[in-house]
Protein backbone atom coordinates (compact mmCIF):
# COMPACT_ATOMS: atom_id res chain seq x y z
CA UNK A 1 0.00 0.00 0.00
CA UNK A 2 1.40 3.45 -0.88
CA UNK A 3 1.70 6.08 1.85
CA UNK A 4 -1.52 8.02 2.43
CA UNK A 5 -1.47 11.64 1.30
CA UNK A 6 -3.81 14.58 1.74
CA UNK A 7 -5.43 13.46 -1.50
CA UNK A 8 -6.04 9.91 -0.17
CA UNK A 9 -7.60 11.27 3.01
CA UNK A 10 -9.79 13.79 1.14
CA UNK A 11 -10.95 11.00 -1.17
CA UNK A 12 -11.90 8.89 1.86
CA UNK A 13 -13.96 11.82 3.14
CA UNK A 14 -15.61 12.30 -0.25
CA UNK A 15 -16.51 8.59 -0.31
CA UNK A 16 -17.99 8.78 3.19
CA UNK A 17 -15.31 6.42 4.60
CA UNK A 18 -14.43 7.10 8.24
CA UNK A 19 -10.74 7.77 8.82
CA UNK A 20 -8.66 6.45 11.75
CA UNK A 21 -5.70 8.19 13.40
CA UNK A 22 -3.55 7.39 16.45
CA UNK A 23 -0.68 9.20 18.06
CA UNK A 24 2.74 7.59 17.75
CA UNK A 25 6.12 8.80 18.89
CA UNK A 26 8.50 5.95 18.06
CA UNK A 27 9.45 3.47 15.43
CA UNK A 28 8.13 0.20 16.94
CA UNK A 29 4.60 1.45 17.56
CA UNK A 30 4.58 3.13 14.15
CA UNK A 31 5.32 -0.23 12.57
CA UNK A 32 2.45 -1.83 14.53
CA UNK A 33 0.00 0.99 13.74
CA UNK A 34 0.77 0.62 10.04
CA UNK A 35 0.23 -3.16 10.24
CA UNK A 36 -3.15 -2.54 11.88
CA UNK A 37 -4.41 -0.51 8.93
CA UNK A 38 -4.74 2.84 10.72
CA UNK A 39 -4.91 5.70 8.18
CA UNK A 40 -3.00 8.53 9.87
CA UNK A 41 -0.44 9.07 12.63
CA UNK A 42 -0.21 12.16 14.82
CA UNK A 43 3.20 12.86 16.33
CA UNK A 44 1.45 14.78 19.08
CA UNK A 45 2.99 17.14 21.61
CA UNK A 46 1.10 14.89 24.05
CA UNK A 47 4.51 13.18 24.07
CA UNK A 48 5.38 15.70 26.78
CA UNK A 49 2.92 13.98 29.10
CA UNK A 50 3.05 10.45 27.69
CA UNK A 51 6.82 10.05 27.25
CA UNK A 52 8.37 12.81 29.32
CA UNK A 53 6.07 12.71 32.38
CA UNK A 54 5.31 16.43 32.25
CA UNK A 55 2.03 17.83 33.56
CA UNK A 56 1.23 19.74 30.35
CA UNK A 57 2.39 20.07 26.74
CA UNK A 58 3.85 23.55 27.32
CA UNK A 59 7.51 22.59 27.87
CA UNK A 60 7.72 20.45 24.70
CA UNK A 61 10.13 22.03 22.21
CA UNK A 62 10.75 21.83 18.49
CA UNK A 63 13.84 19.62 18.96
CA UNK A 64 11.66 17.02 20.72
CA UNK A 65 9.11 17.13 17.91
CA UNK A 66 11.75 16.84 15.18
CA UNK A 67 13.36 13.86 16.96
CA UNK A 68 10.07 11.96 17.38
CA UNK A 69 8.86 12.80 13.87
CA UNK A 70 12.11 11.23 12.56
CA UNK A 71 11.54 8.12 14.72
CA UNK A 72 8.02 7.74 13.31
CA UNK A 73 9.08 8.41 9.72
CA UNK A 74 11.80 5.73 10.00
CA UNK A 75 9.33 2.85 10.07
CA UNK A 76 6.20 4.37 8.57
CA UNK A 77 4.99 2.80 5.35
CA UNK A 78 1.38 3.74 4.82
CA UNK A 79 0.04 6.28 7.32
CA UNK A 80 -0.13 10.00 6.62
CA UNK A 81 2.14 11.67 9.20
CA UNK A 82 0.99 14.85 10.97
CA UNK A 83 3.28 16.56 13.51
CA UNK A 84 2.40 19.07 16.19
CA UNK A 85 4.01 22.50 16.31
CA UNK A 86 4.82 23.00 20.00
CA UNK A 87 3.80 25.91 22.23
CA UNK A 88 5.26 29.28 21.14
CA UNK A 89 6.90 27.98 17.97
CA UNK A 90 4.42 29.75 15.67
CA UNK A 91 4.06 33.23 17.20
CA UNK A 92 4.59 34.86 13.78
CA UNK A 93 4.21 33.49 10.24
CA UNK A 94 8.01 33.69 9.84
CA UNK A 95 8.71 31.71 13.00
CA UNK A 96 6.05 29.18 11.99
CA UNK A 97 7.67 28.79 8.57
CA UNK A 98 11.10 27.99 10.04
CA UNK A 99 9.75 25.47 12.56
CA UNK A 100 7.21 23.86 10.23
CA UNK A 101 9.93 23.42 7.58
CA UNK A 102 12.06 21.51 10.10
CA UNK A 103 9.14 19.16 10.88
CA UNK A 104 8.46 18.59 7.17
CA UNK A 105 12.14 17.80 6.62
CA UNK A 106 11.94 15.30 9.49
CA UNK A 107 9.08 13.45 7.76
CA UNK A 108 5.79 15.22 8.50
CA UNK A 109 3.33 15.63 5.63
CA UNK A 110 1.20 18.19 7.49
CA UNK A 111 1.68 20.23 10.66
CA UNK A 112 -0.91 20.96 13.36
CA UNK A 113 -1.31 24.35 15.05
CA UNK A 114 -3.61 25.17 17.97
CA UNK A 115 -5.70 28.31 17.75
CA UNK A 116 -8.42 30.26 16.00
CA UNK A 117 -8.66 33.31 13.78
CA UNK A 118 -5.27 34.73 14.83
CA UNK A 119 -3.69 31.87 12.84
CA UNK A 120 -5.19 32.94 9.49
CA UNK A 121 -2.07 34.67 8.12
CA UNK A 122 0.21 31.88 9.35
CA UNK A 123 -1.96 29.20 7.74
CA UNK A 124 -2.01 31.17 4.46
CA UNK A 125 1.77 31.67 4.47
CA UNK A 126 2.54 28.02 5.21
CA UNK A 127 0.06 26.81 2.59
CA UNK A 128 1.53 29.20 0.00
CA UNK A 129 4.97 27.68 0.67
CA UNK A 130 3.75 24.08 0.31
CA UNK A 131 3.23 23.23 3.98
CA UNK A 132 -0.27 21.88 4.68
CA UNK A 133 -1.81 22.84 8.03
CA UNK A 134 -4.35 21.22 10.35
CA UNK A 135 -6.02 23.80 12.60
CA UNK A 136 -6.77 22.48 16.13
CA UNK A 137 -9.91 24.04 17.66
CA UNK A 138 -12.03 23.37 20.77
CA UNK A 139 -9.96 22.27 23.75
CA UNK A 140 -6.47 23.45 22.86
CA UNK A 141 -4.09 22.03 25.53
CA UNK A 142 -1.37 24.63 24.82
CA UNK A 143 -3.86 27.26 26.08
CA UNK A 144 -4.70 25.29 29.23
CA UNK A 145 -3.76 28.17 31.53
CA UNK A 146 -6.12 30.50 29.67
CA UNK A 147 -8.91 27.89 29.49
CA UNK A 148 -8.55 27.12 33.20
CA UNK A 149 -8.73 23.32 32.86
CA UNK A 150 -9.40 20.39 30.54
CA UNK A 151 -13.11 21.06 29.92
CA UNK A 152 -15.62 20.61 27.11
CA UNK A 153 -15.58 23.67 24.81
CA UNK A 154 -18.34 25.18 22.64
CA UNK A 155 -21.21 24.47 25.02
CA UNK A 156 -23.05 27.78 24.49
CA UNK A 157 -24.61 28.68 21.10
CA UNK A 158 -22.25 31.68 20.88
CA UNK A 159 -19.12 29.59 21.53
CA UNK A 160 -20.31 26.95 19.07
CA UNK A 161 -20.92 29.58 16.36
CA UNK A 162 -17.47 31.10 16.95
CA UNK A 163 -15.91 27.66 16.46
CA UNK A 164 -17.84 27.11 13.22
CA UNK A 165 -16.84 30.59 11.96
CA UNK A 166 -13.19 29.95 12.86
CA UNK A 167 -13.16 26.61 11.05
CA UNK A 168 -14.67 28.21 7.93
CA UNK A 169 -12.20 31.13 8.03
CA UNK A 170 -9.20 28.84 8.54
CA UNK A 171 -10.28 26.62 5.64
CA UNK A 172 -10.60 29.77 3.50
CA UNK A 173 -7.07 30.77 4.58
CA UNK A 174 -5.75 27.40 3.36
CA UNK A 175 -6.10 24.89 6.22
CA UNK A 176 -6.19 21.35 4.80
CA UNK A 177 -7.73 19.74 7.88
CA UNK A 178 -9.45 20.78 11.12
CA UNK A 179 -9.07 18.95 14.44
CA UNK A 180 -11.76 19.38 17.10
CA UNK A 181 -11.06 18.35 20.67
CA UNK A 182 -13.62 17.91 23.43
CA UNK A 183 -16.76 19.53 22.05
CA UNK A 184 -20.43 18.46 22.13
CA UNK A 185 -21.35 16.03 19.34
CA UNK A 186 -23.70 18.61 17.81
CA UNK A 187 -20.77 21.03 17.43
CA UNK A 188 -18.62 18.28 15.88
CA UNK A 189 -21.40 17.67 13.37
CA UNK A 190 -21.99 21.37 12.63
CA UNK A 191 -18.29 22.10 12.01
CA UNK A 192 -17.96 18.99 9.80
CA UNK A 193 -20.92 20.15 7.73
CA UNK A 194 -19.63 23.73 7.51
CA UNK A 195 -16.24 22.93 5.90
CA UNK A 196 -15.18 20.80 2.97
CA UNK A 197 -11.80 19.67 4.36
CA UNK A 198 -11.56 16.54 6.56
CA UNK A 199 -12.44 17.13 10.23
CA UNK A 200 -10.71 14.96 12.84
CA UNK A 201 -12.42 14.54 16.20
CA UNK A 202 -11.27 13.55 19.67
CA UNK A 203 -14.24 13.69 22.01
CA UNK A 204 -16.16 15.48 19.24
CA UNK A 205 -18.85 12.87 18.55
CA UNK A 206 -19.50 10.35 15.80
CA UNK A 207 -20.05 12.74 12.89
CA UNK A 208 -16.53 14.04 12.25
CA UNK A 209 -14.76 12.50 9.25
CA UNK A 210 -11.91 11.06 11.31
CA UNK A 211 -11.22 9.97 14.89
CA UNK A 212 -7.97 10.27 16.80
CA UNK A 213 -6.91 8.90 20.20
CA UNK A 214 -3.68 9.02 22.15
CA UNK A 215 -2.08 5.58 21.70
CA UNK A 216 -1.31 4.99 25.38
CA UNK A 217 -4.89 5.95 26.34
CA UNK A 218 -6.52 3.43 23.97
CA UNK A 219 -4.12 0.73 25.19
CA UNK A 220 -5.25 1.48 28.75
CA UNK A 221 -1.74 2.16 30.08
CA UNK A 222 -2.06 5.88 30.83
CA UNK A 223 -2.02 6.40 34.62
CA UNK A 224 -4.89 8.24 36.27
CA UNK A 225 -8.60 8.59 35.66
CA UNK A 226 -10.02 7.43 32.32
CA UNK A 227 -11.21 10.32 30.15
CA UNK A 228 -14.80 10.01 28.86
CA UNK A 229 -13.89 10.02 25.17
CA UNK A 230 -11.27 7.26 25.52
CA UNK A 231 -12.04 3.58 24.91
CA UNK A 232 -9.57 1.04 26.31
CA UNK A 233 -9.32 -1.46 23.44
CA UNK A 234 -7.17 -3.84 25.55
CA UNK A 235 -10.30 -4.67 27.59
CA UNK A 236 -11.68 -6.64 24.66
CA UNK A 237 -8.47 -7.87 22.94
CA UNK A 238 -5.55 -10.08 24.00
CA UNK A 239 -2.68 -8.37 22.20
CA UNK A 240 -1.61 -4.84 21.35
CA UNK A 241 -1.79 -5.70 17.66
CA UNK A 242 -5.39 -6.88 17.99
CA UNK A 243 -6.32 -3.74 19.96
CA UNK A 244 -4.86 -1.47 17.25
CA UNK A 245 -6.68 -3.42 14.58
CA UNK A 246 -9.97 -3.32 16.52
CA UNK A 247 -9.61 0.47 16.78
CA UNK A 248 -9.11 0.86 13.00
CA UNK A 249 -12.07 -1.44 12.33
CA UNK A 250 -14.40 0.19 14.87
CA UNK A 251 -13.68 3.66 13.48
CA UNK A 252 -14.34 2.39 9.93
CA UNK A 253 -17.58 0.64 10.98
CA UNK A 254 -18.60 3.65 13.13
CA UNK A 255 -18.86 1.49 16.26
CA UNK A 256 -16.37 3.91 17.84
CA UNK A 257 -17.11 6.42 19.24
CA UNK A 258 -20.22 5.08 21.01
CA UNK A 259 -22.59 7.43 22.91
CA UNK A 260 -20.70 6.82 26.18
CA UNK A 261 -17.58 8.39 24.57
CA UNK A 262 -19.37 11.57 23.48
CA UNK A 263 -20.46 14.87 25.06
CA UNK A 264 -23.96 16.39 24.78
Contacting residues toward ligand KIV, per CB under 6 A: 23, 42, 44-46, 84, 179, 181, 202, 212, 214
Q: Which is nearer to ligand KIV, 42 or 81 (CB)?
A: 42
Q: Which is nearer to ligand KIV, 44 or 128 (CB)?
A: 44
Residue nearest to ligand KIV (CB): 44
Q: What is the per-residue burial (b if ≥16 Cβ within 10 Å, else e) of 48-71? A: bbbeeeeeebbebebebbbebbbb
With 0-12 CB in 10 A as exposed, 13-18 as middle and 19+ as buried, what is 31?
middle
Residue 109 CA to residue 233 CA, distance in Å, equals 28
**What interhelical angle do 27-35 and 62-75 show, nearest 10?**
50
Angle of helix 27-35 relative to helix 240-252, nearest 10 degrees, comes to 50
Smallest distance from ligand KIV to CB 23, Å = 5
Provide the 10 A C-beta neighbour count for residue 242. Answer: 14
Q: Which of 114, 166, 171, 181 is catalytic?
A: 181
- Output the smallest distance, CB 43 to ligand KIV, in A: 8
| End-to-end Cα spacing for the chain | 38
CB 107 to ligand KIV: min, Å: 17
Whether 181 is a known active-site residue: answer yes
Closest to ligand KIV by CB, 70 vs 238, is 70
Please state the closest distance from residue 142 (CB atom) to ligand KIV, in A: 9
- Judged by CB, which is closer to ligand KIV: 111, or 179? 179
**Contact in structure between 47 and 75 (CB atoms under 8 Å):** no
Active site residues: 181
Amino acid sequence: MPQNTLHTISTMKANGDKISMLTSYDSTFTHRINEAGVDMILVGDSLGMVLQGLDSTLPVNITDMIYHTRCVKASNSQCLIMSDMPFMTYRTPEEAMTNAAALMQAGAQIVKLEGGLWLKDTVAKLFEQGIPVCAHLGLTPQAINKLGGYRVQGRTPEEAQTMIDEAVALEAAGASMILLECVPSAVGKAVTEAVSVPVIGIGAGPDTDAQVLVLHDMLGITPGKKIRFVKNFMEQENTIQDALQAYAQEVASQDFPAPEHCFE
